[in-house]
Amino acid sequence: MKAGSYWMMAMAALLPGTMPGAQAADGDGQVVVQVETLPPVSDRTVTFEGRPGGTLTLAGGGRGSLGVEASEGTLTSTMSSIDPRLTAAGYKLVQIRCDDLDSANVSTGDLGARRASFAVDRGESVTCTFLLEMRDDDDRGPGDSSQTDGGDGEPGGSNPPDGSNPPGGEEAPACTCPKEGRWRVNNHVGSMICSGPFSMNLPLAADSDTGRLIVNSDCSKVHADSMGDDEADIDMLLQPDCSWKGSVGGERDGIPMTIHFRWSVESETRITGDLYSTVSQQGMTCNMKRTYELDFEG
């Protein structure tokens, strides 16, 4: 949860000349389709048609991805086939989430069509992640009542965390509570895209860290206690749809910033999520985003 490090990156982006090696964006961004499996499985293939298109092979951690460069416009990519060994094991497409933070042109996932539609702006990079999860219920197929994400990171559905029944009389599942203890955070490659008097597209390198999660008695709040002096603690609050949200606010050199965090608790020992922030100063606006995962260590 390195909020302090992200603030430093944002300050450098807003104040020209303070970050050696920063390059102006060339107008091209990147769109990526990523596949994740839960529980993770490797050496399986998934094929996509469109752009991006092709066949990817799941590697360590149960992930694989395809990407293409793209300038402004709309691209679509459809999951056309899944390795028969995955379907035989009960893996089904249960979620499509896109990390597009642009409120005007939002990239979306259509779970029923197994399709991601990318709305790409100049210099923007967008990833849409297809989650394949092992399910015992053969009646659940793509597009039934599973989650999808249309760019704002909030899964579909409205099941309350207390397990009360939604409209229609169907029983809602209880939300999963993460274990209390030590967790490892793996931050994926992210981006800082700035526009204004000049444009910048700054990558955020992947890294990892450890921290401790403290869960309150009714699992309505999780306190993420960071280990580093330059890192901020975060309180994550359970939402009615079983997602989690939290924010860290602060100020650096007189510039206010708020970083928003979102979680999806996949199991007691695994969490996936993303973070984003928008900073405006001196005629510049910078949008920062990245995805990450947390795994329980004990």
Q: What is the mean pLDDT of the chain?
A: 76
The CA distance from 77 to 127, in Å, is: 11
**229: pLDDT strictly greater than 80:** no
Least confident of 84-88, 178-182, 202-206, 222-226: 202-206
The structural domains of the chain, with segments of one domain joined by +, span 25-157, 175-298
pLDDT band at 208 (very low <50, low <70, confident <90, very high): confident
Q: What per-residue confidence (pLDDT) applies to 200? A: 73
What are the backbone angles phi and psi of residue 8, rounded to the nearest 5°? -60, -40
The answer to whether 197 and 288 are in contact (CB under 8 A) is no
Structure-model confidence comparison of residues 48 and 137, the more confident one: 48
Q: For the segment 65-117, what is each residue's pLDDT rounded down to a tens digit?
A: 888 887 778 899 999 999 999 999 999 999 999 887 665 678 889 999 999 99
Q: What per-residue confidence (pLDDT) applies to 158? A: 36
Q: What per-residue confidence (pLDDT) applies to 137? A: 56
pLDDT band at 260 (very low <50, low <70, confident <90, very high): confident
Q: What per-residue confidence (pLDDT) applies to 69? A: 82
| Annotation: CATH topology of 175-298 | Porin (2.40.160)
Q: What percent of the chain has pLDDT over 90?
A: 30
- Pick from 262, 251, 298: nearest CA to 10: 251
Q: How far apart are the first and last CA of the chain?
A: 18
The listed CATH number (3.40.190, 2.40.50, 1.10.1240, 2.60.40) that belongs to domain 25-157: 2.60.40
Q: What per-residue confidence (pLDDT) applies to 29? A: 72
